[in-house]
Amino acid sequence: MPAPLTLFDKLWRSHVVTERDDGLALLWIDRHFVHEGSHHAFGQIAARGAKVARPDLTFGVADHYVPTRGRGLPIPDASVARMVDQLSANTAAHGITLFGLDDARQGIVHVTGTEQGLTLPGLTVVCGDSHTSTHGAFGAYAFGIGASEVAHVLATQTLWQKKPKRMRVGVDGMIGLGITAKDIMLTVIATIGADGAAGHAIEFAGSAIRGLSMEGRMTLCNMSIEAGGRCGMVAPDETTFAYLAGRPFAPAGDVWTAAIDDWRRLPTDADAAFDREVALDGADIAPTVTWGISPEQALPITASVPDPAGMADAVKAAATRDALDYMALAPGQKLDTIAVDRVFIGSCTNSRIEDLRAAAGVLAGKRAKVPGLVSPGSSLVKQQAEQEGLARIFTEAGLEWVESGCSMCVGMNGDMVAPGERCASTTNRNFKGRQGPGARTHLMSPAMVAAAAVTGHLTDVRRFS
């Protein structure tokens, strides 16, 4: 009998074209997403006089640099306008499908690609963006790549890779009221550290994971990079199939039926070996926020800021002092007393319709005490949120409702947190200056951000249950 295989082993084995003596394998790539920041790779292709090998497997999305206001008008920043125009020209020249600013399907690449049914179980998915790991929620091997690798995929539809180790993060048991995938993932990162999964492909498993929606699973896989993982993935199941059914690019008819049969063979075999196992009890997970400048510097909202004076580990104590200095926090300060200056709801981590519903559920009938921005993950999500009345809830609460894009997550498109300001954010990274020079970011779930907006400080969302 063949040895039992993990989900990752099955995906890797089915995509190896050839292997080298140094251990690198040439992998076939099933889906390649490019965005306006991919112009360097297209420039390399042009310099070689090459063509895109498989334009039918390549898809362009305008998302990172695009402004979220004034959609349909000329882009005021000349450099951004040039990149957007280059993306349009490059995709048109090579016959690549583009979800551009004039397309009703435009959005953040990791939202648009999944909602269109382009990401399917068993595929390899790459993009010049680290949070490509999001697509692993469908049982795909999805990971970010650099500019030279983008050019390699454009030219060959393959990529040389070193096989990562395998890690399983199991979360079992019932999660409590108000606990979301964001809380689960922040707890995982706080438990294992920001480099705890370095060199590993993470598979999320357990009853609490199976109980998550696809939106929740995407949040988990999105932030697997913040734990140092090469990728994150969840085995496909009935939840996956129900989400994909009828999507524009998903299989249909007899092909759909055959695909389901194939996808059911992907989950990890019983007794398959992992290089590392981590187990958490879902009942122990609380609404969680970050207090520092790394996603691992996170605690339950009921906790207090740590005191470096009491830490035996000198390196950890120094990192804590540095974080507290940048974040302007005092040791021992209760997290739910930390005032915020603004809030942000959006990003490829938490901008899908489920996320917007959760935030609107807290904000309904209330007024925010601080300003904020809400940027839906795609134009289709925006349209749905407006039809459901969610957009009206946000605006009546005093928050700004804008177009789809990476927005305030990256601070490179006009949406920024001012120096010294503190932002409650649904994004994935909180390092120094991530949302703008001098910006102070606290990561949390959409509902927790909404709670902070209503109270003006970090707040336990369970108060609003």
What angle (nearest 5°) sits at the alpha carbon of residue 372, between those of residues 369 and 377? 145
For residues 108-137, average pLDDT: 98
Q: What is the pLDDT at residue 411?
A: 83
Yes or no: say if 267 and 7 are a contact pair by the CB < 8 Å rule: yes
Does this model's pTM top 0.85? My answer is yes
The pLDDT of residue 58 is above 90: yes
What stretch of H or E contains 443? strand 440-443
pLDDT at 434: 96
Mean pLDDT of the chain: 97
* 428 and 222 Cβ atoms separated by less than 8 Å: yes
Q: What pLDDT digit, counting tens, does each position of 409-419 carry? A: 988 888 999 99
- Residue 52: strand pairing partners: none
pLDDT average, residue stretch 432-455: 97
398-411 residue pLDDT tens: 999 999 999 999 88
Spacing of C-alpha 84 from chain mean position: 22
> Can you give the pLDDT at residue 450?
98
Segment 299-328 mean pLDDT: 97
What is the secondary structure of 327-340 as a DSSP string? Answer: HT--TT-BGGG-B-
Task: Give the tens place of pLDDT for each residue, 33-48.
Answer: 999 999 999 999 999 9
What is the distance between the alpha carbons of residues 386 and 45, in angstroms, rounded to a whole number? 41
Flag whether pLDDT at 463 surpasses 80.
yes
Burial of 21 (0-12, 13-18, 19+ CB in 10 A): exposed
What is the average pLDDT across 383-395? 98
Structural domains in the chain, CATH included, are 7-162 (3.30.499.10), 165-284 (3.40.1060.10), 334-464 (3.30.499.10)
Q: Which amino acid is at 26?
A: L
pLDDT bracket for residue 1 (50, 70, 90): confident
Strand order in the sheet with 422-425: 400-401, 372-374, 342-345, 422-425, 440-443
Among residues 299, 281, 282, 302, the alpha carbon closest in space to that of 290 is found at 299
> What is the band of 465 on the pLDDT scale with cuts at 50, 70, 90?
confident
Whether 452 shows a pLDDT value over 80: the answer reads: yes
Given a cut of 90, whether residue 54 has pLDDT beyond it is: yes
Angle between helices 446-455 and 353-363 (to 10 degrees): 30
pLDDT at 2: 82
For the stretch 166-220, pLDDT in tens is 999 999 999 999 999 999 999 999 999 999 999 999 999 999 999 999 999 999 9
In this predicted structure, the answer to whether residue 264 has a pLDDT above a threshold of 80 is yes
